[in-house]
Amino acid sequence: MDLEEAARKIETMEVRGAAKIARLAAEALKDFALSFEGSDTEKFREEVKRAGERLLSTRPTAVSLRNAVNIVLKGGREGDNLSDIKKNLVMAAENFIANSEKAIEVIAEIGSKRIKDGAILLTHCNSSAAVTTIIKAHKDGKNIKVYATESRPKRQGYITVRQLVKEGIPTTLIVDSAVRHVMPKVDLVVVGADTVESNGAVINKIGTSQIALCAHEARVPVMVCAETYKFSHETLAGELVEIEERDVNEIVKPEDFPGVGIFNPVFDATPPEYIDVIVTEEGVISPHAAYEIIKALDIDS
Ligand code: RUB
């Protein structure tokens, strides 16, 4: 995979979702390292670092992308000669991808147990961790039904409803603004995450915090499915998570609304008070345990 092609696929959202973009970045760095010709170790390190920066410039919010790049580059800092350095980088990338894929399976296994037979679920956007968990619950014999939001402006909810219906799960598509209206019928909200902050706040698709607020009001628990690569070391060091703003054309054609300001933030932060549990591959945790997870992770920025 050509590095620029990978970066473009992430930028244009041809590949999207925090886990998938992180794995693609790891794969692209691996291929970039393998295609490096020459014997100058310093030049290799510089070029790989620049490649990492290019990948990081694509989308700012998902920390899994940053963690993937940091882990792979860290692998490439180990070794005495270029051949070993390359080998270590490739191994770091392959481990990241394998661990990330395995994490989703484990999360689904654990998360499914928290979904009761007969439950009505609500999900938002399209999270591979959340969708895999819901499908696992269905495969485990739970008789579930799902409300899925459209998830404006990009409508990733369309992907979700198609994935769920393909598995035979009764699924109902709703517009984002119908969430409060349907919430009294819902037993559990299941969403993914782009980033989990050190204080336990979860950054996910815009609208997640409103859903969590409605769930809180209706006393419906909120379950976040997120592998530990989504936990942000940077926030422990005081950094704030940048909320991506995308092209306003994703909402409307600005020329149709002369004089009108248009704002398109695509993620928001749900405070830990509105989240019941985060299901990680390490187990079910309270959002307040995010600090310990980040400390144990040992991913440097
Ligand atoms: C996707 C989104 C998903 C998270 C988690 O946003 O908000 O809920 O990324 O997904 P976008 P996953 O479509 O803008 O990338 O569980 O697959 O990592």
Q: How many CB atoms lie within 10 A of CB 252?
A: 13
- Which member of 2, 31, 80, 125 is catalytic? 125
C-alpha 43/C-alpha 82 separation (Å) is 10
The residue ranking higher by pLDDT, 91 or 300, is 91
Residue 64 CA: nearest ligand 1 atom is 18
> What pLDDT score does 131 carry?
98
**pLDDT tens figures, 8-43:** 999 999 999 999 999 999 999 999 999 999 889 999
**C-beta of 59 in contact with ligand 1 (< 6 A):** no
Q: Rounded to the nearest whole angstrom, what is the distance from the C-alpha of residue 75 to the centroid of ligand 1?
A: 26
Average pLDDT over residues 85-94: 97
**C-beta of 128 in contact with ligand 1 (< 6 A):** yes
- Percentage of the chain lying above the pLDDT 90 cut: 96
pTM of the model: 0.97
Is 54:24 a contact under the CB 8 Å cutoff?
A: no
Is 284:110 a contact under the CB 8 Å cutoff?
A: yes
Is 298's pLDDT higher than 80?
A: no
Q: How many CB atoms lie within 10 A of CB 178?
A: 14
Q: How confident is the model at residue 68 (pLDDT cuts 50, 70, 90)?
A: very high
Residue 129 CA: nearest ligand 1 atom is 16
Cis peptide before 153 (omega within 30 of 0): yes
Catalytic status, residue 194: yes
- Percentage of the chain lying above the pLDDT 70 cut: 99
> What pLDDT score does 167 carry?
98
**pLDDT tens figures, 147-174:** 999 999 999 999 999 999 999 999 999 9
Is 300's pLDDT higher than 70?
A: no
Residue 154 CA: nearest ligand 1 atom is 13
Catalytic status, residue 125: yes
Q: Rounded to the nearest whole angstrom, what is the distance from the C-alpha of residue 14 to the centroid of ligand 1?
A: 13
> What pLDDT score does 260 carry?
98
Strand partners, 120: 145
**C-beta of 134 in contact with ligand 1 (< 6 A):** no
